[in-house]
Structure 1
Amino acid sequence: MNTGPSGTEAAQATVFSSPRARAALPRRIYRYRMLGMGLGALAMAMVLWELQAGPLRWILCALTGLAWPHLAYQLAKRSADPFKAEQRNLLADSAIAAFWVPLMHFNLLPSVLLLALSAADKVNSDVPGIFRRTLPVSVAALLAGGLATGFAFEPASSTAVILACLPMLLIHTGLVSLGRQQLVRKVVQKNRELDLLGRVDRVTGLALRGHWERDAALALHDVHALDRPATLLLIDVDGFKRVNDDSGHLAGDALLRAAGAALRTLLRPGDIAGRYGGDEFAVVCPATGLEEAARLAEAYRAAVETIVLAEAPDHGHSVSIGIALAGRGHARIEDWIHEADAALYEAKRSGRNRLVLSPGEALGATG
C-alpha cells in the first residue's frame, strides 16, 4: 500500500550502499504511498458507505488517503536522518492498515488486501528487517481498532466493495511490479559495470593483464590443438617516463589513453589486446602469420607518431614493438611472451620507434 521497487537480498545491499541512496528512500516511497493509500481509501470509503459510518471514520478515511502520504514525506524529508525517519513511516503505514481492518468491521476482501499489500510492501521496500518490526505494531493497531469498534464483525464483501478494491489490487500491484523490474535492471547494469571494471583497464580501455593472459593462453592452446598460426605483439610506449617527469602524471595518463585508443581503432575482430604493464601493451593476433601481424604493427607504430597531446605539446611519441610467432617450443604462454619480449628489447636497444620480428629482424625503423 505504500512502497516501491523491491529486490532480492543482493539487491538490498546495492540499493542502500551509499548515503545518497539512503537519503533518497523517502522520495522513492512517496509516490507509491500516495498511490496505495489513495486506492486503499477508495475501498475503505465504499465499506464506510455501506456501513453508514459516522463522520469520524470519514475524516479518518480522508486523512489516510489524502493527508498521510504528504505528511509522511515531509516528516522524512525534514528529518536529520531521512532513512530512519522513513522506516518510522513504514511502521506507521502498517499500523494504519491494520487499524482500518476493524474500522471496516473486518470486511473480508479490503481487509485481506490492506494487510497483504502492506506486508508485501515492507518486503519490497528493501529495508532490512522492516517486515519483522511491523508485526507487533500491526497487531497492536488491530487490537486498538477492535476495542474502539467492539470487534464488530461483518465480513461479507458486496459487489460494490469488490469493484472498489480492484484498482488497489491491479493498479498498485502492477506499478510496484514495474518499479521492481526497473530496480532489477539497474542492479544488473551496475553488476555489468563492476564486471567491466574488473576486466578492463580504465586508462587505456584494454583488458587488464590477468584477463589478457587467460585469453592469450587459450589462443596458444588453439595453436597447438588446431595447428593454426598466431602472432604476439609486445608493445612499449617510448618515452612514457620522460613525459611523466617533464609534464606530470596527467600527461602520462593522456599518452597511455591516446595510445590505447589508437590501438583499439586498429584491432581486428578476434584480436586480443591488453595492458601488460605500466607502459606496455600486448596483442595476440589469432590465425595470423608474421607478415600480416607486421603490417598491423607498422600501422600502429605510424598512428602513434601522429599523436599530439595538449598536456605535453613539446613531446613526440612513438612505440617499440616486438613480434613473435607462436611455435611448438612455446609450451606455456610465458615462453611465447619471453620470445616477444626479447624482440622488443632489441627494438628498444637499436633505437626505439621500430618493430622487430623474433629472432631479431628489424622492420619499420625510423631512427
Structure 2
Amino acid sequence: MKNDLSSNPLRQLYRRTYVLRVLGMGLGTLPIAVVLQQRHGSWQAWAWAVLVCFAWPHLAFLMARHGRDPAAAERRNLLLDSFFAGTCAPLMHFNLLPSVVLIAVVAADKVTTGIRGLWLRSLGWTAAGIVLGGLLTGFAAAPASDMAVVVASLPILVIHTLVVSAISYSLVRRVQLQNLRLKELAHTDPLTGLHTRRHWEQGIAAMLAALRPDATATLLLIDLDDFKVVNDTHGHPIGDDVLRAIGAIVREHAADRGLAGRLGGDEIALVLPVDSSAAGAIAERIRADVESLRFPLAPSLRCSVSIGIASRPRGENHPRQWIEAADRALYQAKDAGRNRVGSHAPDLPPL
C-alpha cells in the first residue's frame, strides 16, 4: 500500500495543508507584488516571489506525496513555509503590514496542524529566512504601508482567516461527533440497540433513587430459549439476526417509558413504570412477537423466549435484589417448559 493511502492521519497531513498553502501563498502574492512594483523590484526579487508563492506549494505537495515518510516530509515543508515567509519580509523592505500578515498566517497554519510545538519550532526558521533575506537585501527598511498595500493585504488577512476558521470548525465538529459516537458505543449494545449492561445498571440505580416510595415499577428478565442450539444449528450470523430482531421487539415495547438493556449473551432486561399486571401483559406480547419471528435465511428456525417478572421491592433502592427476584421468576418459566412468562409478583395472575 502506498504511503499516502495509510490510515495514519499524520500521513494525510500534506493533503490538508496543500489547500491552505496554495491559498495562503497565492493571496500573499498580492501585497508582495504591490510592494515590489512600488519600489521597482529587481527581476531576481520577482522570480523569488513567483517561486515562493506559486511553485513552492505544488512542489511541497509532490515532495510529501512521493516521500518515503509523507508525515515527516510535510513537517519539513511546514518549517520551510516559515523560512520562505521570513525571506519575504526583507524582500518587501520590511513593509510592516504585509510582513506581519504573512508571518502570522504561516504561523497560524502550524497551529491548525495540531502538531505539538510545531509553531514554536517554526519561529527559528522564520528568523533564519529574515536574516538570509536581509543579508541579500542589505536590510533595507521601508516599513510604511500606504493604502494600496493595505488593500492588497486584506484578501489574505480576511479570506485565509475565514478558511482556517472554517477548517478548524469542521475539525472540532468531527471530534464532537466522534466523541458522541464513542459515547453511544459505550452506552449502546451495537447488536441489539439496547443499553449496555453497565449503562443499564446505572440507569436502574438512578431510577430507584428518584422513585417515590409508593411508585410502581416492574422488571422483565428475558432469555432466549436454547440459544446455543440456534447457534450450533444455524450458525452465529443467524444467531446475531435473532438477537437483533428480539432487541427490536423489546425496544418497540419499551418505547420512551421503559429502560431496556442487554445484560450479556442472550439475556435482556426491561424495566417498565407499571404494575405487575400491566407488565405481564406486555411480557406476553413480547413472547408472542418473538414466537412469530421468521428468518428468510433460516426458514425452519422458530424462536421463543422465557420471561421472568418481578415487582420493585418495597423499601429497597438497590437493583440487585430486584434482578435476583426476576431471575428466580425466569428460571421458574424455564423449569415449567420455556416459552412462557413467570412471575415473582404475588399480585400477578398466572399466564
Match of 1:182 in 2: 170
Alignment CA distance shift 1:226-1:163 (3 Å): farther
Is 2:298 the partner of 1:281?
no
What is the DSSP-based 3-state SS (H/G/I as helix, E as strand, rest coil) of the residue aligned with 2:264? coil
Q: Is the 8 A contact 2:205 2:317 kept in 1?
A: no
Aligned-partner residue type, residue 169 of structure 1: L
Name stretches of at least 5 consecutive residues in structure 2 with no aligned partner. Answer: 1-5
Task: Tell me the TM-score normalised to structure 1 length.
Answer: 0.90
Q: Is the 8 A contact 1:200 1:208 kept in 2?
A: yes
Q: Is the 8 A contact 1:220 1:230 kept in 2?
A: no
Tell me the percent identity.
47
Aligned length: 345
Q: Take 2:338 and 2:131, find their aligned partners in 1: how far apart are those partners?
A: 86
Task: Tell me the TM-score normalised to structure 2 length.
Answer: 0.94
Q: Take 1:239 and 1:362, find their aligned partners in 2: how far apart are those partners?
A: 26
Is 2:187 the partner of 1:199?
yes
Is 2:216 the partner of 1:214?
no
1:302-317 correspondence to structure 2 within 5 Å: 302-317=288-303
- The structural deviation recorded for 1:222 is 3.5
What is the DSSP-based 3-state SS (H/G/I as helix, E as strand, rest coil) of the residue aligned with 1:281? strand
- The structural deviation recorded for 1:362 is 7.2
Out of 308, 316, 319, which is 1:333 matched to?
319
Is 2:242 the partner of 1:255?
yes
Query: Which digits, 9 at most, give the CA deviation of each residue in 1:36-56, with x for residues without a partner?
Result: 000011110011011110111
Query: Which digits, 9 at most, give the CA deviation of each residue in 1:47-97, with x for residues without a partner?
Result: 101111011111111222221111111111111211111111101100000
Q: Take 1:323 and 1:329, find their aligned partners in 2: how far apart are those partners?
A: 18
Q: Take 2:84 and 2:250, find their aligned partners in 1: how far apart are those partners?
A: 63
Runs of 4+ in 1 over 3 A off after TM superposition: 310-313, 359-364
- The structural deviation recorded for 1:303 is 1.1
Match of 2:227 in 1: 240
Q: Take 1:198 and 1:207, find their aligned partners in 2: how far apart are those partners?
A: 9
Q: Take 1:113 and 1:158, find their aligned partners in 2: how far apart are those partners?
A: 15
Aligned-partner residue type, residue 350 of structure 1: A
- The structural deviation recorded for 1:327 is 2.8
Is 2:122 the partner of 1:134?
yes
Q: After the TM superposition, which of the residue ranges 147-156 and 329-338 deviates more from structure 2?
A: 329-338
Q: Is the 8 A contact 2:277 2:349 kept in 1?
A: no
Query: Which digits, 9 at most, give the CA deviation of each residue in 1:289-321, with x for residues without a partner?
Result: 112211211111111112223454322101110
Name stretches of at least 5 consecutive residues in structure 1 with no aligned partner. Answer: 1-17
Q: Is the 8 A contact 2:213 2:314 kept in 1?
A: no
Out of 113, 117, 124, which is 2:101 matched to?
113
Match of 2:344 in 1: 358
Aligned-partner residue type, residue 35 of structure 1: L
What is the DSSP-based 3-state SS (H/G/I as helix, E as strand, rest coil) of the residue aligned with 1:232? strand
- The structural deviation recorded for 1:226 is 4.7
Out of 322, 333, 340, which is 1:347 matched to?
333
Q: Is the 8 A contact 1:301 1:319 kept in 2?
A: yes
Aligned-partner residue type, residue 254 of structure 1: D
- The structural deviation recorded for 1:258 is 1.4
Out of 167, 171, 187, which is 2:159 matched to?
171
Q: Take 1:70 and 1:262, find their aligned partners in 2: how far apart are those partners?
A: 57
Q: Take 1:91 and 1:50, find their aligned partners in 2: how far apart are those partners?
A: 30
Is 2:21 the partner of 1:30?
no
Aligned-partner residue type, residue 228 of structure 2: K
Q: Take 1:294 and 1:161, find their aligned partners in 2: how far apart are those partners?
A: 81
- The structural deviation recorded for 1:329 is 5.3
Aligned-partner residue type, residue 178 of structure 2: K
Query: Which digits, 9 at most, give the CA deviation of each residue in 1:123-178, with x for residues without a partner?
Result: 12212221122122221111000000000010000100000000010010011001
Is 2:43 the partner of 1:55?
yes
Q: Is the 8 A contact 1:240 1:255 kept in 2?
A: no
Match of 2:281 in 1: 295
Out of 135, 155, 158, which is 2:146 matched to?
158
Q: Is the 8 A contact 2:32 2:98 kept in 1?
A: yes
What is the DSSP-based 3-state SS (H/G/I as helix, E as strand, rest coil) of the residue aligned with 1:275? strand
What is the DSSP-based 3-state SS (H/G/I as helix, E as strand, rest coil) of the residue aligned with 1:24? helix
Q: Take 1:222 and 1:125, find their aligned partners in 2: how far apart are those partners?
A: 47
Q: Take 1:120 and 1:110, find their aligned partners in 2: how far apart are those partners?
A: 15
